[in-house]
């Protein structure tokens, strides 16, 4: 079982011979081993106090000597008794995560839990309950229409959310269901969920470590924990070392004592970080909150004005006043806004699927358009997680060429049952069969932790000579090289190894000798150092181009890796990221005194990356960047990335990611490489433009309906039928949904919701359209101009609307409002003249159909409950010409707004940004709307509401998981284990 852990070999094996000569330490790349300690308490005292066990300065089950672990956990190498194991199972709980399931009914109802829906629900109550008066039946038509709108909106949102991935469920799906444990001196197999602190466990090659443990026996053990820590290579483990549960045993076999299980473990803590922010408000919810607040304030002002004016001023009857208020509530609330945006995002998700990107949370598409920083894991994401020989840096010390050195190193490697080092060496020669071609294997010595090298003795078939090759740790190999170990060679080797270490490259030395005679066991003529191989985890083929493209789109890329600092810097240099990278400890200690950074936030913003980070560090980095106003995307592939993927505005799991990473992510890539991310960014910005266009349109229509019909009521006592407003809303929303496939161009910079601009445009457009309707009504009521010029009449042949609520005048107003309100979308969707930016065929077709339906309703609609009567073809022509005449100046209004108010708002905003940067030293992002709005909690992710409701109606119990769903864990925190045992000492036997 060969596993030359070259990155761990530095400094761990110093030859005991030649004491008279200066010992060269060959600082190969690797971390310093953590020294074991003793518990700083009286170990004769078994019953420890809780405060002692919480004090990591006194007790740390990860690093104290194993004998102290047994004393603290009150166990021995014979294992626990069944009674004690059951007692501890009650104390610590099962070795798994508990999960809550949402009740689907409550989840569906939660989509009606926001202020926009509340207003529509209030309107429904007004229609069905409060309108039941004055000997008139309830307003069933409006009630049914409102309820249908609400149900459609909730159904779409419910469907999308139920399809979203569940990170904790995926963590449970990656379990090790069985574990080998010693109980009462006997080995047996149990469910891993039954493991408790103090249990003795064993595992071998191919097994998943079932719980966090300290090794009591280790035979040539190598553990792959890349998915947990981000380290590229499997790690050699010896007696006393800690093993993370959830990692995989790649070599050897071991026994250990369990020190932590369940949510007390490191992996358990990481799982708790996943989704712990469920009660926070998403970015799109914040935007909807502020748009909704704008609409509600406008509606509220005019509803209050109508109550005072119509009831106190005009002495309206109860029912008549309610009908006018219903018009404002139904027409003013953009109730379909979440639905329209959801459809737009869903279509975008389908488009991204063409690039092999699965979107599990569609609102992430909108956030991706605004992302300013992309944090990326290194191992398996930016790199291939497959070790490779770096041919450009091979050093030779003898007559052999770099290709010869690689071939000889391949001879000294296993061709089956390979570890990571042997795999990369044999893979470097191209054809693996060459590793045994032309030679006859006579003897092979695999890697072992003592010798730290592999060795092959073979006969060269061409010459018949016996030869021997060895590869391994530089310090060991050079001591064997008696033929050319000169001061000059040693100095060169030491310098080369030091250079490799500073660049994060693992050094693998290769030596060669010839053997006299025919005895494979015979002495050779002395080893000769022939080469030094550099091993590294290479970047993916498209990574550099992806990073360059992302930067060209205004997105800053930062590397966040669990690997060592030198490796991170070398990878950053190769990818063009830069090498301003820092170790994870700066996240705790902050910038050094006297450095150019005043705060940790400044350092995080400046850094090209961080190395040696744990899941909580990645989580903290993302959280701090978000607190600075940035929208962050995070890419990753391992369980150690899951918390940060969950925390990020957009989590992206790359191809080959673990289940935990995929389910914590918002976008999952199904093909190798990162180029899809750039496609996703561009696609998301197209979708963002569509949503921005709709937001301007929706706010403008709110202004247009509310202000228009309120003024008509005040000026002419004009009572527009609520049901006709409902029809306008339905037709408008049906047409606007085609914006999801409209033609727009993506921006070259991160997008942002500048709500001041949106509201400014909306007010200008809304007031202008209001004027168009008021002018039409005023002429029809005050004059006979339409009759005089076009010969059209109203009900009973009236030449003007003597009755201000003439049923045909209602139809005329309905048609005028319906046509020009929908036509407004062609203005909001374009940046220049509307006819210069061709819309999609779907939008044009939907607009045409909607106008045809509106015209038919205006001509043939004769519904008594709506107080509408069909109009003549003359009126239809008048309305169409009227709207066309009023439509063309809308472009001029847009250009005038850009030159005045919008320009002023942008200049003011830029001054605020500059002032903030000057005062704090930390640049502020452009989007002020990313800051929390006052009432955003009303639009929050509805989890908290669901949970409160579930508890009240009895749906809040924990859900028991099946045995095959038991969770693996690994941990750093074990103090809680001892704490619980201290509070619940073993029962006397």
| Catalytic site residue from 377, 637, 742, 754 | 377
With beta carbons less than 8 A apart as the criterion, state whether 229 and 564 touch: no
Neighbours of 486 (CB within 10 A): 12
- Distance CA(127)–CA(137), nearest Å, equals 10
- Distance CA(772)–CA(893), nearest Å, equals 14
- Dihedral angle sign, alpha carbons of residues 900, 901, 904, 910: negative
With beta carbons less than 8 A apart as the criterion, state whether 910 and 357 touch: no
The pair of three-digit structure tokens given for residue 902, joined into one six-digit string: 């919008």
Residue 36's closest CA among 61, 70, 8, 16?
61
Coil, helix or strand at residue 48: coil
Residue 930's closest CA among 290, 111, 348?
290
Q: How buried is residue 745: exposed, middle or buried, by Cβ count under 10 Å (0-12/13-18/19+)?
A: exposed
Q: How buried is residue 684: exposed, middle or buried, by Cβ count under 10 Å (0-12/13-18/19+)?
A: buried
Coil, helix or strand at residue 767: helix
Helix, strand and coil in the chain, % to nearest 5: 50, 15, 35
- Distance CA(198)–CA(208), nearest Å, equals 19
431 is catalytic: no
Secondary structure in 3-state letters for 449-463: CCCCEEEEEEEECCC
DSSP calls for 574-586: HHTS-S-EEETTH
Crossing angle for the helix pair 722-736 and 318-332, to the nearest 10 degrees: 10
The pair of three-digit structure tokens given for residue 176, joined into one six-digit string: 């090790």
Residue 414 is given by DSSP the state -
Coil, helix or strand at residue 28: coil
- Distance CA(645)–CA(170), nearest Å, equals 14
- What residues pair up with 186 in beta bridges, in sequence order? 183
H or E, element range at 291: helix 283-306
- Provide the pairing of β-strand 556-560 with 373-376: parallel
H or E, element range at 375: strand 373-376
Crossing angle for the helix pair 841-860 and 873-887, to the nearest 10 degrees: 140
Crossing angle for the helix pair 807-828 and 675-716, to the nearest 10 degrees: 150
Residue 114 is given by DSSP the state S
With beta carbons less than 8 A apart as the criterion, state whether 674 and 384 touch: no
- Distance CA(695)–CA(292), nearest Å, equals 10
The pair of three-digit structure tokens given for residue 13, joined into one six-digit string: 């094996």
- Distance CA(484)–CA(404), nearest Å, equals 18
Q: How buried is residue 65: exposed, middle or buried, by Cβ count under 10 Å (0-12/13-18/19+)?
A: middle
- Dihedral angle sign, alpha carbons of residues 975, 977, 979, 981: negative
User: H helices then E strands: how many in the chain?
Assistant: 36, 22
Q: What are phi and psi of 108, to 5 degrees?
A: -65, -45
- Distance CA(173)–CA(940), nearest Å, equals 29
Residue 982's closest CA among 91, 9, 84?
91
- Distance CA(31)–CA(235), nearest Å, equals 11
Return the active site residues. Answer: 377
């Amino acid at each position: 079982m060969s596993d030359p852990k070259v990155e761990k070999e530095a400094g761990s094996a110093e030859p005991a011979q030649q004491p008279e000569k200066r010992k060269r330490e060959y600082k190969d790349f690797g971390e310093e081993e953590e020294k074991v300690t003793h518990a700083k308490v009286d170990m004769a005292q078994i019953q420890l106090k809780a405060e002692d066990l919480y004090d990591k300065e006194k007790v740390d089950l990860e690093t104290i000597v194993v004998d102290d672990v047994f004393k603290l956990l009150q166990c021995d190498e014979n294992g626990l008794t069944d009674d004690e194991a059951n007692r501890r199972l009650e104390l610590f709980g099962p070795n798994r995560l508990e999960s809550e399931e949402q009740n689907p009914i409550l989840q569906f109802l939660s989509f009606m839990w926001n202020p926009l829906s509340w207003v529509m629900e209030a309107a429904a109550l007004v229609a069905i309950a409060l309108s039941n008066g004055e000997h008139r039946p309830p307003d069933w038509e409006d009630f049914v229409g409102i309820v249908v709108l609400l149900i459609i909106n909730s159904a779409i949102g419910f469907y999308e959310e139920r399809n979203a991935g569940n990170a904790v469920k995926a963590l449970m799906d990656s379990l090790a269901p069985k574990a080998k444990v010693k109980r009462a001196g006997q080995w047996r197999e149990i469910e891993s969920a039954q493991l408790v602190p103090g249990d003795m466990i064993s595992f071998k090659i191919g097994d998943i470590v079932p719980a966090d443990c300290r090794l009591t026996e280790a035979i040539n053990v190598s553990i792959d924990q890349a998915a947990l820590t981000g380290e590229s290579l499997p790690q050699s483990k010896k007696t006393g070392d800690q093993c993370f549960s959830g990692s995989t045993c790649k070599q050897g076999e071991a026994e250990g004592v369990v020190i932590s299980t369940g949510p007390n473990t490191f992996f358990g803590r990481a799982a708790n970080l996943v989704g712990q922010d469920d009660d926070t408000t998403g970015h799109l919810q914040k935007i909807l909150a502020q748009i909704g607040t704008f609409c509600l304030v406008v509606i509220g002002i005019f509803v209050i004005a109508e109550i005072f004016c119509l009831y106190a001023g005009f002495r309206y009857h109860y029912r008549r006043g309610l009908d006018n208020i219903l018009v404002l509530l139904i027409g003013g609330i953009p109730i379909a806004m979440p639905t329209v945006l959801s459809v737009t995002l869903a279509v975008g998700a389908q488009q991204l699927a063409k690039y092999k990107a699965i979107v599990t949370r569609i609102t992430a598409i909108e956030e991706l358009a605004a992302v300013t920083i992309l944090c990326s894991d290194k191992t398996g994401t930016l790199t291939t997680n497959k070790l490779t020989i770096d041919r450009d840096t091979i050093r030779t010390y003898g007559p052999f060429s770099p290709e010869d050195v690689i071939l000889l190193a391949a001879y000294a490697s296993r061709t089956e049952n390979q570890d990571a080092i042997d795999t990369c060496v044999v893979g470097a020669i191209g054809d693996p069969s060459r590793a045994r071609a032309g030679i006859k294997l006579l003897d092979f010595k695999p890697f072992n932790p003592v010798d730290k090298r592999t060795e092959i003795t073979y006969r060269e078939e061409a010459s018949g000579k016996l030869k021997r090759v060895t590869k391994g740790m530089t310090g060991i190999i050079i001591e064997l090289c008696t033929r050319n170990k000169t001061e000059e060679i040693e100095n060169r080797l030491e310098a080369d190894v030091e250079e490799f270490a500073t660049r994060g490259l693992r050094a693998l030395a290769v030596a060669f000798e010839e053997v006299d005679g025919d005895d494979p066991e015979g002495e050779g003529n002395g080893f000769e150092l022939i080469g030094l191989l550099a091993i590294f985890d290479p970047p993916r083929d498209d990574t550099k181009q992806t990073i360059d493209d992302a930067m060209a789109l205004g997105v800053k890329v930062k590397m966040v890796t669990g690997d060592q600092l030198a490796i991170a810097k070398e990878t950053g240099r190769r990818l063009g990221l830069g090498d301003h990278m820092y170790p994870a400890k700066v996240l705790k200690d902050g910038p050094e005194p006297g450095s150019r950074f005043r705060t940790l936030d400044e350092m995080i913003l400046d850094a090209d990356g961080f190395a040696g980070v744990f899941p909580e560090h990645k989580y903290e980095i993302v959280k701090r960047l978000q607190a600075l106003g940035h929208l962050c995307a995070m890419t990753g592939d391992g369980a150690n990335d899951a918390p940060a993927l969950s925390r990020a505005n957009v989590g992206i799991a790359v191809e080959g990611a673990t289940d935990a990473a995929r389910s914590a992510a918002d976008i999952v890539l199904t093909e190798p490489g990162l180029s899809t991310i750039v496609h996703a960014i561009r696609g998301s910005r197209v979708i963002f433009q569509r949503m921005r266009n709709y937001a301007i349109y929706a706010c403008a229509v709110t202004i247009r309906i509310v202000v228009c019909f309120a003024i008509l009521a005040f000026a002419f006592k004009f009572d527009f039928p609520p049901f006709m407003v409902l029809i306008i809303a339905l037709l408008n929303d049906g047409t606007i949904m085609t914006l999801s496939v409209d033609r727009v161009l993506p921006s070259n910079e991160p997008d942002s919701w500048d709500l001041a601009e949106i509201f400014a445009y909306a007010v200008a457009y809304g007031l202008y359209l209001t004027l168009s309707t008021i002018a039409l009504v005023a002429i029809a009521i005050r004059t006979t101009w339409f009759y005089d010029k076009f010969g059209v009449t109203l009900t009973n042949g009236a030449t003007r609307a003597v009755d201000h609520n003439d049923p045909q005048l209602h139809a005329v107003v309905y048609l005028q409002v319906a046509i020009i309100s929908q036509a407004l979308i062609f203005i909001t969707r374009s940046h220049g003249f509307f006819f210069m930016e061709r819309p999609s065929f779907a939008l044009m077709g939907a607009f045409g159909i909607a106008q045809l339906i509106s015209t038919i309703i205006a001509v043939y609609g004769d519904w008594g409950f709506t107080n509408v009567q069909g109009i003549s073809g003359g009126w239809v022509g008048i309305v169409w010409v009227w709207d066309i005449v009023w439509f063309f100046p809308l472009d001029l209004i847009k250009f005038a707004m850009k030159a005045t108010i919008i320009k002023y708002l942008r200049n003011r905003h830029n001054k605020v940004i500059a002032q903030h940067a000057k005062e704090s030293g930390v640049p502020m992002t452009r989007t002020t709307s990313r800051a929390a709005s006052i009432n955003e909690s009303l639009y929050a992710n509805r989890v908290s509401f669901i949970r409160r409701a579930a508890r009240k109606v009895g749906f809040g119990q924990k859900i028991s998981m099946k045995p095959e769903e038991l969770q693996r864990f690994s941990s750093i925190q074990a103090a809680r284990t001892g704490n619980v045992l201290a509070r619940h000492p073993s029962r006397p036997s």
